[in-house]
C-alpha cells in the first residue's frame, strides 16, 4: 500500500480552494461572506483560533450553496485534468489518499480515478462542521491506523508538505513532491 497526500502532491494546486473559486463564480452571492472569511483568516494568522476551527468557520459558505452534489460533480469533470501525470503513471490498486481535504469532496475524484482507499477530514457537506479531527499532521497517522489497523504496512508516502513528516516516518519510505520533482525524505 502506498499513501499520497492530495493537494499539491497528486493534484496541481489546492482542490478545495479551487472549488471555493468555482462556487464564487457560479454562486456569486457568497462573495458577501468575504469580510467574515477575512476576519476568520486573520484570527487564524494571529493564532487566536486553530486550524480546525478556521476551516469550519471559513467553509460556512457551504451552508448557502444549493445543489452541492451536482456542483461538486461538475467541478471534478473539469478539474480531474489537474491530476499530475507522474501519479497516473505509477498509480496502483492499493493506493490510499490521506488528506485534510473533506472526504465528501474528495470521494467523487477518488471514484473517478478508481482509488479505493480514502482517509480524509469528515466535514459536514451542509454546514462545514468537522466531525472529529482535521486529517492533518500527526492526526493523519492516527486516522490511517484507525482505518486500516496499526499493523498495516505503508510502503511509501508522498507529500508536498513538512506537516506530513509524521506520515513519512510512519511509512517505510517518504517522498517530498515539488511540482513534478520527487525527492526522498531521509
What would the pLDDT profile of 145-167 be if each residue is shown by its tens digit? 999 998 999 999 999 999 999 99
DSSP classification of residue 151: T
Average pLDDT value for residue range 20-43: 97
Does 123 have pLDDT greater than 90? Answer: yes
The span from the CA of 31 to the CA of 16, in Å, is 16
Residue 128, phi-psi category: left (phi > 0), alpha (psi -120 to 50), beta (remainder): left
* Average per-residue pLDDT for the chain: 97
What pairing do the DSSP bridges indicate for beta strands 2-4 and 96-102?
parallel
Q: Delineate the domains of the chain, giving CATH numbers in brackets.
A: 2-13+83-185 (3.40.50.1000), 17-73 (no CATH)
Specify whether the CB–CB gap between 174 and 167 falls below 8 A: yes
Alpha-carbon distance 123 to 101, whole Å? 9
Task: Give the number of other Cβ atoms within 10 Å of residue 60's Cβ.
Answer: 16
Q: What is the mean pLDDT of residues 69-74?
A: 96
Amino acid at each position: 500500500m502506498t499513501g499520497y497526500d492530495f493537494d499539491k502532491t497528486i493534484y496541481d494546486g489546492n482542490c478545495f480552494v479551487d472549488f471555493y473559486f468555482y462556487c464564487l463564480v457560479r454562486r456569486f452571492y457568497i462573495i458577501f461572506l468575504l469580510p467574515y472569511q477575512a476576519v476568520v483568516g486573520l484570527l487564524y494568522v494571529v493564532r487566536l483560533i486553530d486550524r480546525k476551527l478556521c476551516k469550519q468557520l471559513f467553509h460556512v459558505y457551504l451552508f448557502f450553496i444549493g445543489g452541492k452534489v451536482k456542483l461538486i460533480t461538475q467541478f471534478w469533470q473539469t478539474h480531474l485534468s489537474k491530476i499530475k501525470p507522474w501519479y497516473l503513471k505509477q498509480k496502483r490498486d492499493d493506493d490510499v489518499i490521506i488528506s485534510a481535504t473533506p472526504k465528501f469532496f474528495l470521494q467523487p475524484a477518488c471514484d473517478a480515478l478508481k482509488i479505493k482507499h480514502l482517509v480524509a477530514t469528515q466535514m459536514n457537506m451542509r454546514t462545514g462542521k468537522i466531525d472529529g479531527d482535521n486529517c492533518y499532521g500527526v492526526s493523519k497517522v492516527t486516522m490511517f491506523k484507525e482505518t486500516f489497523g496499526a499493523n498495516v504496512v505503508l510502503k511509501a508516502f508522498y507529500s508536498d508538505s513538512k506537516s506530513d513528516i509524521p506520515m513519512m516516518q510512519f511509512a517505510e519510505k517518504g517522498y517530498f513532491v515539488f511540482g513534478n520533482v520527487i525527492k526522498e525524505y531521509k
